[in-house]
Amino acid sequence: MQLHYLVREPHDKKTTNPVLILLHGYGSNEQDLFSFSSELPGDYYVISVRAPYDLMYGSYAWYAINFDADENKFSDIGQAQQSRDLIADFIDEILQTYPIDPKQVTLIGFSQGCILSYAVAVSYPEKVQRVVAMSGYFNAEIAVDGFAENDLKQLQIFSSHGSVDQVVPVEWARKAAPLLESLGVQIEYKEYPVGHGVAPQNFFDFRNWLEETKR
C-alpha cells in the first residue's frame, strides 16, 4: 500500500461488506475523521487514509496550497492529480486486501479530502458509487480530461457546507450541485449555520443518507 491508513472492520461480517473511505482535510491526519468511526454503521469497513504530503508534526496534505505575493491562495493541481490517482489505486488495493463489495464503495471527504473525493468519483465512476462531500468544492481541473463524457448516472453524492465557512467560501460549494446534476449525478446539497467544520446535524444527515441510499 502506498498510503498509510486505519481500518475498523465490520461488526457483522458477510461474504463481502461495503466500505467507507475517509479522506481528511489539509493539515490534518487519518486520526481526524476516524474519531467518529464508532458512530458509523456497523456493517461497513471504515478505512481512514493519510494524505501523502508531510507538513510536519502529524499534519498531512493531499496537495500543496501556496500563496503568491498578493496573498492569493492557489492549489498545486499537479500534486492534486497525483493524489487523485493514488486514491484510485488505493481503492483497487483495498479491494484485493479485504472482502469488500466493489459495487459499494463510498468516499467521505472533508475540505481538501472533499475536493479529492469529487475528483476521484467523476474521474473513475466505475470505482466509486457514492460520495459524502463536506466543506469543499468541485474543481474540474483535478478531474481527468474528458470526465464529463463518463457515465455518471449511478453516482450519488451528499454535499454539505457551513454557511459561514471562512476557509472555503460557501459560494464555491453551491456551484457543484447544478454542474454535476447536468452530468447526470444524483446530488443532495445541504447547508448548516457553522464555519469550517462538521455540525452534529450534518453528521446525522449524512449517516441517514448512507442508510437511505444503500444498495
pLDDT in tens, 138-188: 999 999 999 999 999 999 999 999 999 999 999 999 999 999 999 999 999
Go through the chain and tell me how many residues it has. Answer: 215
CB 206, CB 95: distance < 8 Å: no
Q: What is the pLDDT of residues 50-87, one digit of tens each?
A: 999 999 899 999 998 876 666 566 788 999 999 999 99
Span 202-212, pLDDT tens digits: 999 999 999 99
- Cβ–Cβ under 8 Å, residues 164 and 103: no
This prediction has a pTM of 0.96
Per-residue pLDDT, 74:
77
Cite the DSSP H helix spans in 41-164.
77-97, 112-123
| Rounded (10°) angle between helices 77-97 and 112-123 | 70
**What residue segments make up the domains of the chain, in order of their start?**
5-212
d(C-alpha 24, C-alpha 38), whole Å: 17
CATH superfamily of 5-212: Alpha/Beta hydrolase fold, catalytic domain (3.40.50.1820)
Decide if 23 contacts 121 (C-beta within 8 A): no
